[in-house]
Structure 1
Amino acid sequence: MRPTRYPRLLAKLPACRLGALVLLRSQAGHVLLVDPDHLDGLLLPGGPALPNEPPHLAAARHLHAQTGLLRRVTQLLAVDFTPADRYLERLNLVFDGGVVTDREEQRVTVPPRCRSGLHGARFADLAHLSALMSPAQNARVQQALANLGRALPLLVHGQRAA
């Protein structure tokens, strides 16, 4: 079967950002959050995928750039669509980053603010998340936590992401 092409659909791609985030937990059950200088409140480490960048690779890239931690992430915990407001509409994928060792927790490092756009990063107790995050960010984290143990695999062009 010959593939069909739709030049009008490809002429102007839809304006939608793809956010790739990582839920990473300490052995005590705390969640790693970053403090961006451009938003109020803390959020999960991560950021936008580059054009044509697989979201799991974007999530791992941002996690490493923001915290120094290396993780292979391929399990989806939550998908959150955010309609356009101050920014373009966006689809945020939350990946399971697993549990860090005590040694890894001590090695979390945030690059200087001028390079990272972050004030810092810290592991936060689950009981305090609602006070530290916006309601939408908190709801995203709570849903991702609720989905631990029943994550979905990420497929890239029909194959499990490696």
Structure 2
Amino acid sequence: MRDPRLLAKPPVCRLGCLVLVRNPRGDVLLVDPDYMDGLILPGGAARSDEPPHLAAGRHLAEQTGITLRLTDVLAVDYTPADRYLERLGLVFDGGITGAQPVVAPQKRSGLLGARFVPVKQLSAVMAPAQAARVAEALAGRAVPLLLCGQRA
């Protein structure tokens, strides 16, 4: 039985699906969006009814040309509503890759570029909240992603 009170006015929350990918040296893959200052993890918002690991993989492939299977979450970051909607960010473990990012032209991708950045330089190239999110993801233990109670 459906409870109409639960469906009357659901909260509006944007689901951010990000990916932490490292190269064999341990550097972190970051993208440089043309719409904000500083570098960020590759990723973006999930579409309606899109599983978060598939959204993260889709954005990673679109932004960098790197295709990975994502199953574990390294960090969950909640951001209350400010000038944007309330947001929940999931940072997926992209593991280690030897692949180099390939970014589509800015007009199509909205990115100025992508590159691997040494961990010690993250705070110099990222906004404080973004750098803190990456630091927590690097320090954390993976949490399995479940879809309807089953591993993704």
TM band (smaller chain): over 0.9
Q: Quick check: 1:131 aligned with 2:124? A: yes
**Which structure 2 segments of 5+ residues have no match?**
none
Identity percentage over the alignment? 65
CA apart distance, 1:112: 1.2
- Residue by residue over 1:88-130, the C-alpha shift from the partner in whole angstroms, topping out at 9 and shown as x without a partner, is 01000000000012xx12xx11111111111110100111100
CA distance in 1, matches of 2:103, 2:128: 25
Question: TM-score, normalised on structure 1?
Answer: 0.91
For residue 22 of structure 1, what is the amino acid of its counterpart? V
Listed as ranges, the matches of 1:74-85 within 5 Å are 74-85=71-82
CA offsets per residue over residues 63-105 of structure 1, 9 Å max, x none?
000000000001010000011112101000000000012xx12
Match of 1:20 among 12, 17, 22: 17
What is the rounded CA distance, in whole Å, between the counterparts of 1:124 and 1:88 in structure 2?
29
Alignment of 1:56-75 (within 5 A): 56-75=53-72
State the secondary structure of the residue aligned to 2:12. coil
CA distance in 2 between partners of 1:89 and 1:118 (Å): 24
Give TM-score, length-normalised by structure 2.
0.97
Q: Aligned pair 1:89/2:86, yes or no? A: yes
Choose which of 130, 133, 145 in structure 2 pairs with 1:154: 145
Aligned length: 152
Partner residue of 1:119? 112
Which 10-residue stretch deviates more, 63-72 or 7-16?
7-16
Deviation of the 1:27 alpha carbon: 0.6
| Deviation (angstroms), 1:11 | 3.4
User: 1:9 offset after TM fit, Å?
Assistant: 2.4
- Mapped partners of 1:59, 1:137: distance in 2: 17
Question: Which runs of structure 1 show a deviation greater than 6 angstroms over 4 or more consecutive aligned residues?
Answer: none
SS of the equivalent of 1:13 reads coil
In structure 1, the gaps of 5 or more residues are none
State the one-letter code of the partner of 1:18. Answer: L
